[in-house]
A and B are shown apart, each in its own frame.
Chain A
Amino acid sequence: MEDFTELVKTHQKHVYNICLRFCCNPEDAFDLSQEIFLKAWRGLDGFRGDSSVFTWLYRLTYNVCADFARKKSRRRETVSLDDKDLPLNDERYEPALALERKELSRSLEKALELISPEHKHILVLRETAGLSYREIADILSLEEGTVKSRIARARLALRELLIKDGNYLPEQTSNKQKPTKGGGGRHV
């Protein structure tokens, strides 16, 4: 039980935010997160150890969220892009966000809803949970090379929408940052 408590404590933010990206409202994200951890609790005994607990948990997270997204699309529920459905406009969650940051973040969220589910899912796994290409490949049952190219295409698609939106990325981006090797580490 202590191990499980530690698992929840360490990963609840990532799991919750992945759910939030998939279902776009805090209530469903809350319910999905609980469902995921309950399933993790019940499935811990059956965990064979052929992958890390981390990968196993996020595979479970992805499967639950993907099922939810499929059911949601079957019900033809339209994703509301109204402010009230986005957590950023809920003062409980982001009371201190500057208006400009809120506008930029809103643009990003809108763009995420417009790219294909395939691109969205892989970007969410990469950017929200900081999963490596190897881990994403395990979760999605893809080759690592496929993950690499799909992430790149997802970023290009998102970028294109953000440039068109004009709020997030100006058409000509200045050289604000010196390119570096970057890091693939997890967001902790």
Chain B
Amino acid sequence: MCDAEAISALIDGELPESNAADLLSHMETCPSCRALHDDFLAMRDGFEAIAIDPPDTLAPGIRYKVELGGDPPRSRRIIGSLIGVAACLIAALFISHFSALPQSANNEPMYDSAAPGAGTDYGIMNGTAGRSGAQDSSDFSAASEGYDTPSIVPEYRAFEYAEDGASEPESAPVADEKLTLTDSAGSVLQTPEPSEEPSPSEVEAEPEPTSESLE
């Protein structure tokens, strides 16, 4: 009976020298062992025949992926994280800056309906620079009933309308820090909603003296 294991090891060069010699001499006189040996060699030839060269793109593709996909060194990861954080901070500052700019529902200046002085209407630009966008300019409109006539303590100059009702200001207001309204006691006044604010045309002007009233 043929020793297939020995013949297999023989063709693989894994049989000890002395055993190999014995087997070779045996096969010279044993056709079945020789046939088995030949078949094993034929199958090895077959494996060589079906082996193919890999596509030309394999090695370059591996190199490309290695160069692209290798883990970056630790320092680069840290720098990347810092850049990301900085970008977020800059975006947050940008958003908060633009949200703090003056906001008006109909893009019209706010008026104080109880402004003192006959014939004089004040149009006050709401300087809300630096303030939160959630707080609107209605906070600085005229006091409601129950308050003393407020004294406006603007930190910027309000423009005045001409006595004839012309709306062109003599000088443009300088929007600056926040405007606060205080009463005569110096307390900061709360203000009604912007919708309650009259438009300039609705502001009740003091009636002009007529010739009849003067007589």
B34 within 8 A of partner (CB): yes
Q: Which of B13-65 contact A (CB under 8 A)?
A: 13-15, 20, 23-24, 27-28, 31, 34-44, 46-55, 57-59, 61-63, 65
In whole angstroms, what is the CA distance A55 to B61 when docked? Answer: 23
Contact of A179 among B34, B65, B66 (CB under 8 A): B34
In whole angstroms, what is the CA distance A156 to B1 when docked? Answer: 14
Mark the stretch among B2-10, B158-166, B170-178, B203-211 that contacts chain A: B2-10
Given contacts A13-B51, A20-B52, are A34 and B40 in contact (CB under 8 A)?
no
CB <8 Å contact, A173 and B35:
yes
B73 within 8 A of partner (CB): no
Contacts of A177 in B (CB 8 A): 37-38, 41
Given contacts A12-B54, A158-B43, are A176 and B59 in contact (CB under 8 A)?
no
Nearest chain A residue, comparing its CB with the CB of B54: A16
Interface residues on B, range: 35 or more
Contacts of B62 in A (CB 8 A): 8, 12, 33-34, 37-38, 41
Contacts of A26 in B (CB 8 A): 55
CB <8 Å contact, B43 and A33:
no
B12 within 8 A of partner (CB): yes
Nearest chain A residue, comparing its CB with the CB of B20: A181
B70 within 8 A of partner (CB): yes
**Binary interface encoding of chain B residues 137-170 relative to chain A, with 1 for a CB under 8 A from any of its CBs, else 0:** 0000000000000000000000000000000000
Contact of B10 among A17, A29, A169, A182 (CB under 8 A): A182
CB <8 Å contact, B58 and A41:
no
Please, could you name 22 A-B residue pairs with CB atoms under 8 Å apart, sorted by A? A1-B66, A5-B63, A8-B59, A13-B54, A38-B66, A87-B52, A93-B53, A101-B49, A105-B50, A108-B49, A108-B50, A123-B47, A127-B43, A127-B47, A148-B8, A152-B4, A152-B7, A169-B43, A173-B39, A173-B42, A177-B41, A183-B12
Q: Which of B165-214 contact A (CB under 8 A)?
A: none
Contacts of B55 in A (CB 8 A): 26, 30
Q: Which of B4, B12, B14, B57 gathers most chain A CB within 10 Å? A: B12
CB <8 Å contact, A175 and B34:
yes
Tell me, rounded to whole Å, the shortest Cβ–Cβ distance linking A172 to chain B: 7
Contact of A132 among B5, B14, B51 (CB under 8 A): B14
Q: Which of A18-48 contact B (CB under 8 A)?
A: 20, 26, 29-30, 33-34, 37-38, 41-42
Interface size on A, residues (CB 8 A): 60
Given contacts A16-B58, A30-B54, are A105 and B65 in contact (CB under 8 A)?
no
Q: State the majority secondary structure of interface residues on B.
A: helix
B88 within 8 A of partner (CB): no
Number of inter-chain CB pairs below 8 Å:
146
Tell me, rounded to whole Å, the shortest Cβ–Cβ distance linking B52 to chain A: 5
In whole angstroms, what is the CA distance A133 to B50 when docked? Answer: 22
Tell me, rounded to whole Å, the shortest Cβ–Cβ distance linking A143 to chain B: 14
Considering the complex of A and B, which 9 residue pairs feature the smallest CB-CB distances, nearest first? A184-B13, A182-B11, A16-B54, A152-B8, A127-B47, A152-B5, A108-B46, A184-B12, A173-B35
CB <8 Å contact, A179 and B53:
no
Nearest chain A residue, comparing its CB with the CB of B31: A175
A85 within 8 A of partner (CB): no
**Binary interface encoding of chain A residues 128-171 relative to chain B, with 1 for a CB under 8 A from any of its CBs, else 0:** 10001100000000000000110111011011001000001100
Given contacts A34-B62, A158-B43, A168-B42, are A181 and B13 in contact (CB under 8 A)?
yes
CB <8 Å contact, B4 and A17:
no
Tell me, rounded to whole Å, the shortest Cβ–Cβ distance linking A75 to chain B: 25
